[in-house]
Structure formats: structure tokens, C-alpha cells
Amino acid sequence: MCGITGYIGEQNAADILVDGLKRLEYRGYDSCGIAVVDSKNALYLRRVSGRVAALETLVAKGPPKGGRTGVGHTRWATHGAPSEDNAHPHTDCSEQVVVVHNGIIENYLALKEKLLAQGHKFKSETDTEVIAHLIEEKLKHLHVQEKAVRSDMLEPVFFEAFRHAVGELKGSFALAVVWARCPGMIMAARMYSPLVIGLGKGEHFIASDVSAFLKHTKRVIFVNDGEMAAVRKDSMDFYTFQGKKTSHEPVTIQWDSTMAEKGGYRHFMLKEIHEQAEAVENTLRGRLLPLDGEVLGRELLMPVEFMRAVETVQFIACGTAYHAGMVGRGLFEHFGINAEADFASEFTDRAKLLDKNTLVVAISQSGETADTIFAVREARAGGAKVLAITNTVGSTLTREADYVLHTHCGPEIGVASTKAFLGQLAAIYLVAGHFAAAKGLLDKTDARAYAEELLRIPRHIEEILAREAEIEKIAAAFASSEHFLFISRRLNFPIALEGALKIKEISYVHAEGYAAGEMKHGPIAIIYKGMPLLAVAPSSSSLDLMAGNVEEAKARGADVVAIVDEDSKKTVKASRYIVLPRTGELFSPLLTVIPLQLFAYYVALAKKCDIDKPRNLAKSVTVR
């Protein structure tokens, strides 16, 4: 959600900023813009309502070739409708202070009223614009008049004005600010919103996501909550909001920008669906030792004594990650370990019931999901330990958690999550096996069988993907449908929910997921003749019940597509089948979701939807 770019160095800043914004498009946005200080210290500002391609065309008509410092932004509307006026960057009255911002300033109305009373004129409806005017006001308080401050004093003055302004902000924010009179330094700050700095030679980059500048450098510093950075082309300094100096060691990112290209696929989503065998392999690699009967992850570093003492495992997440948590709940319960799963956004009251014998498992692809991070803080305040499952090294969630398990799936560009979900599931299966072994619930023989079955999953995924053409054909038969039902039972009930979510996300049609046994308690009333119903029905202990639920739906006119294996196909009667490789009931969610992802993709493709950038959605939801 929203994306920040910033550059200071010797290259043409406008080109760097626009390229960075292109690489952040996957996050979701509705407007964008850049601001560059030219060689004469004049501010060049260009904004559009719409895509980065339109901004690039506008910039090409006359960017300042001498501009070596600037900031850019892709915005997803929170305060104020999508428009050029509301697009970032925002400026002060003098149009010398320019700001880009991710997050929400909770006290912006009070600040705006105060600034209006002081004579400031606002040009937008956003909360962000108050920051520019607030810094302008602080500069006035520091007696900064035109040409009244020596050039060697501009940086200290800018720093102090920025620091005092940040001190008045409440809410979540990642900021990058340029002052036209001081183009040799960009000020940045972070509170509850991601911000990272890329280290180059004679140049530095600022972004909300490393992908914005990864083609230029892999050496980065992640800014911490409550921290500011003074960034120059050949140096940088870090401080707390109170002005105390801090220090950082750079880290090196292990993937490069070529991994974020489509690789010949029509959409990133399809490419990422096809990367799922590798994603699961990467999550499992080095963490399973089946020949020794071990399912314990080597990197988790969670004491066995702690695992044995854990009485409840509490999953918290949002969206697709929540569905992974629901599978996790069922998996832990299978082993006899008490487990719960809750939406992170609804976790406040549950957090009050936690104690030191609860392990909270927080799941987030980006590691920056605001609701999940706040829920983690509530959980830790209640005395619980937190395990983070995330795809993003150095993210906020990894720094908030007690333990971390990275999924190593590589960048996921499509807004509708696919391979990140499979990576999350694989990580949960690792953790579940880890706990079951620690608690003596898996003996050596069972542990080996569990690990070996997990290691077979990537090959099964490839078998399913080899049937893509037949899934595409089935999806084409329902491309004109405006209503879909997905049903299943037990561990695959969350997969039914995930299938429905994928249709909604990228096809913009009505879809519902239900526990199959609940259909007769009300939802069966919405079935009409020809309504598509996708039944996730692999071999399981509840297969006969599932087959009965399918018959009930067929009797009311549903057109049933059954997700089955060769054995369960004999029991479930449907008009169409998608046949999967046979795996144990426990592991089936790792396979059953894949045909539902492909089904949703091809329905959306037939409807000519913007699959990688669905309307109203953002990849990383960094505000609550």
C-alpha cells in the first residue's frame, strides 16, 4: 500500500525515481508523482492521478537534467479521493519543502487547524500535507528567512525543523523530505511503516521496499521505528526522534531484480503460481532431515523446553495469511495441541487472555501488515511469545517477534497472494512437526514419514501444474458466472475460503466459501440452476459426508466441479473433475489450493480483469 522512492547522488534523479515507482507498482496505488531539486535549487514537481506510465510521459516532456536529489510516491487513497491535487509529493506554502509519506497521521486535523490559524494555505485533502506545512512552520521558528542562513548551517537547521515536526506527529508514518534550499540532504523517518535505505557509491536510495532500488544496490539499512535518518550522497546518520545518535550495520539482500520479472508469463500471478513447487522447496530446504527422523527446523532456535511448555498456539493474520493460520489451527489440533486462529484486526480482546504458555504465530507475507504488527504488540504485552512467519527479511514483524521463520519464497509481485500462501503453509507444517516431535507426539518412524511426505509435495505441485490446460478449460465454462460457491470440510475448509477470496480479488464477482456441513443450515437457499459450486473433496475421513453435501447441492441445480484424487473421485459425483495426486489427508491443503488459484486466474483472464493490480487492493496493507 503506497510506495516511497528517494534518491541523492550524481545520476538524474527523475529517471531513478520513476524507475523505482515502476518497481513499486505491485503494492497497489491510484496516483503517483515525483519532486526533484534542480541545479538552481528550484523544485520540479509532477503528479498524476493514475498509473506511473502517465507520470513517465509527463516527466519526459521536460525534467530538470541537473536534478540530483528528489523523492517519489505511489499513493493509495486514505484521506481524500484519488486526484492530482491529493497525489504525493506535497509541498508547503513556499513550495520549498516537499514530503512523501506512507501511513496515517492520526492527529492531522488538530495540526491542520493550528496551521490554518497560523496562515498556512492547503491545496489538498490529505493528512500528509500537514507535514510539509509543519516543517515550514518549524523553519520559521528557527528564524530561517530567505538567504538569512549561511550555507553551512542549512543542514543543521533542516535537521532540527524536521525533528521537531516529527515529534508532533501521531500515527503511522514513513517519511522522506526534501528542502529545496538544502538539496545535499534528504531527511527520513519511520514509525510503524516500512522504510529502507540503499547504499551505493556516491549515491543513496530511500524506499518503502528494497525492490525500488535493487537494480542499483543490494546493501541496505532498515530504519527502525522511532528513528530518523539524515541521508547525503556519500554519508548518512541515524537518530532517535529525541535527537540521540544511533548506529546500523548494513545487510545484503540475497535476491536480485531479475527475480521480479515476468519470465515470459502473461501475468506475475501466473508466474508465481508456477513458482510454487520451488517456493515450497525453498521453505523446506535445510530444515528437514527425514533420514534421521527429525522435523525440527535448524534455524528456529526455539528451546525444546519452551515448546514442551506451550499449552496453546494462537495464529493471527489477515486475508490469505489468515486462511493459512486456519489450516495451522487444524494441523496442531490433529496432533492434540490446543490451537486458535483469529483475524489480527479482531484480536484485541483475545490478546487479554494470553499468558506465557501461549505461542502466538503471526503470519504476514510482507512482514509489514499493520493489523498483524499491532496484534503482535498486544500479544507480547499479555506475556506471550511470538513466532513470525514471513517472506521478508528485515521487516518490522521480524524485529517485533521472539522467533522468526522466513519462507524464502522470493518476491511476490501479484497482489493476490499465491506462492507466499504456499510458503506460509509449508512453514506451518514445519512448525507443527517441530512441536509434535518436541512434545513426543511423533515417534521417530512417524516423524520420518511426516518429513518424507512433505518433501514429496513440490513434485505433486508440478503434476498439478501440468494439468493447467484442463483447468483453464473448466474455468472458461464459468467465465460468465457472477456467483460462485466453494465448499469443503476440516483442513480443507480454509482452502474453500481461499478459493472464494481469489475469485473475489481478481474477478470482482460474488463468491462464498463454506464449511460443507453448514450449507443445509442456510446458504443452500442461494443455490440456483447452473450455479457453479467447487467442492474440495480429496480422500479424507469425512469424504462420505462431503459426498452427501455435493449431492444436496446438485439436487438444487448446482453445477459441481470437484477437486478430488483418483480414490475420492469414485465417491464424489460431479459434472466436472480436477484430479490431484494422492497425498495424506493431513497434507492435502498444500495441493488443493493450486487448482483453485488457476481457476480464479483463468476466470479473471476471460473477464479481461487487471489480474496483477486488482482494483481497490494493495499488496502490503501498512495502515490499520
Number of residues in the chain: 624
Let me know: does 163 contact 228? Beta carbons within 8 Å. yes
Alpha-carbon dihedral sign for residues 581, 586, 591, 594: positive
Give the separation between CA 411 and CA 199, rounded to whole angstroms: 20
Separation in Å, CA 590 to CA 313, 333, 439:
21, 17, 24
Please confirm, yes or no, whether 32 is among the known catalytic residues.
Answer: no
Please confirm, yes or no, whether 2 is among the known catalytic residues.
Answer: yes
Q: How many C-beta atoms lie closer than 10 Å to residue 46's C-beta?
A: 23
Which grid cell is 320?
Answer: 490469505
Give the separation between CA 275 and CA 246, rounded to whole angstroms: 40
Q: How many C-beta atoms lie closer than 10 Å to residue 410's C-beta?
A: 19
- The residue ranges of DSSP E strands in 22-127, in sequence order, are 31-37, 43-49, 69-75, 90-91, 97-105
Give the separation between CA 135 and CA 112, rounded to whole angstroms: 12
Give the separation between CA 268 and CA 612, rounded to whole angstroms: 6
Q: What are phi and psi of 149, to 5 degrees?
A: -115, 135
> Which amino acid is residue 238, in one-letter code?
F
Residue from 2, 318, 409, 609 carrying the catalytic annotation: 2
Separation in Å, CA 148 to CA 43, 132, 139, 167, 598:
19, 20, 12, 25, 64
Q: Provide the Cα torsion 342, 348, 349, 350; round to 10°.
A: 40
Give the separation between CA 153 and CA 211, rounded to whole angstroms: 35
Give the separation between CA 37 and CA 158, rounded to whole angstroms: 15
**Three-class DSSP labels, 177-223:** EEECCCCCCEEEEEECCCCEEEECCCCEEEECCHHHCCCCCCEEEEC
Let me know: does 596 contact 507? Beta carbons within 8 Å. no
Which grid cell is 451?
Answer: 518429513
Residue from 112, 233, 502, 619 carrying the catalytic annotation: 619
Active site residues: 2, 619
